[in-house]
């Protein structure tokens, strides 16, 4: 493998054997592309599962309908999944293009933008999953101390589908968490302590 070349501030050319680091870079890139497309797919799936979920039950000749808008946390989950999917589609395309071009991310402004967006998405999707999971637990088990009845005995099919959507969303948020770690790596290594073309220009 061709060694990378760095120029020290004293203009002494310093050769370094960057083979190992390049292999790491390649792995990081592949992982990023895979995760972005996983998030896109599962984000769409999660949003579709939850938002299409309804069940009608007849109780004492009274028709009652459960839908995802009955729980605000599920609405938040659908929105978060939708945004995550849309964002990952855009980023996924960017990743594929940069892989085809073979370009490496050295632009600090872009690295900061990607890092920030990934962080926001990771925390948003995780918060949405946590809130929806809390609602789901209340639906499944109720909270007798507060006279909140369990509803999943009544709307079994509805609850199962919400559960499937939650699992999908949970994988989305885990993938976003991993991605935000990768984009942190991509950003902060530009601030390496070993002064060169990339570091120290805060």
The footprint of a copy of itself (CB under 8 A) covers 4, 6, 8-10, 12, 14-18, 20-21, 24, 70-73, 106, 119, 122-123, 126-135, 137-139, 143, 145-149, 151, 177, 181, 184-185, 187-200, 202
**CA–CA separation, 46 and 10 (whole Å):** 55
Nearest to 16 by CA among 6, 25, 26: 6
| Contact by Cβ (8 Å): 39, 88 | yes
Nearer to a copy of itself, 89 or 130 (CB): 130
Backbone angles phi, psi at 102, to 5 degrees: 75, 20
Nearer to a copy of itself, 9 or 61 (CB): 9
**Cβ 10 to a copy of itself, closest distance in Å?**
6
**Cβ 162 to a copy of itself, closest distance in Å?**
13
Nearer to a copy of itself, 72 or 157 (CB): 72
**Cβ 163 to a copy of itself, closest distance in Å?**
16
Nearer to a copy of itself, 72 or 93 (CB): 72
Backbone angles phi, psi at 4, to 5 degrees: -75, 160
| Contact by Cβ (8 Å): 179, 32 | yes
**CA–CA separation, 183 and 91 (whole Å):** 12
**Cβ 43 to a copy of itself, closest distance in Å?**
18
Q: How far apart, in Å, do the first and last CA atoms of the chain sit?
A: 32
**Cβ 179 to a copy of itself, closest distance in Å?**
13
């Amino acid at each position: 493998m061709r060694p990378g070349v760095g120029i020290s501030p004293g203009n002494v050319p310093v050769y370094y054997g960057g083979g190992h680091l390049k292999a790491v870079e390649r792995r990081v890139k592949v992982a990023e592309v895979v995760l972005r497309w996983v998030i896109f797919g599962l984000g769409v799936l999660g949003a579709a599962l939850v938002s299409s979920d309804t069940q009608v039950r007849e109780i004492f000749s009274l028709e009652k309908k459960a839908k995802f808008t009955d729980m605000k946390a599920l609405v938040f989950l659908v929105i978060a999944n939708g945004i995550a999917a849309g964002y990952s589609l855009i980023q996924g395309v960017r990743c594929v293009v940069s892989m085809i071009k073979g370009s490496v991310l050295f632009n600090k402004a872009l690295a900061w933008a990607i890092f920030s967006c990934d962080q926001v998405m990771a925390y948003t999707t995780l918060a949405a999953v946590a809130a929806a999971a809390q609602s789901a637990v209340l639906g499944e088990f109720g909270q007798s101390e507060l006279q909140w009845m369990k509803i999943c005995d009544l709307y079994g099919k509805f609850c199962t589908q919400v559960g499937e959507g939650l699992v999908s969303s949970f994988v989305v948020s885990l993938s976003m968490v991993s991605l935000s770690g990768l984009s942190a790596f991509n950003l902060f290594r530009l601030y390496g302590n070993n002064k060169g073309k990339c570091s120290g220009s805060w």
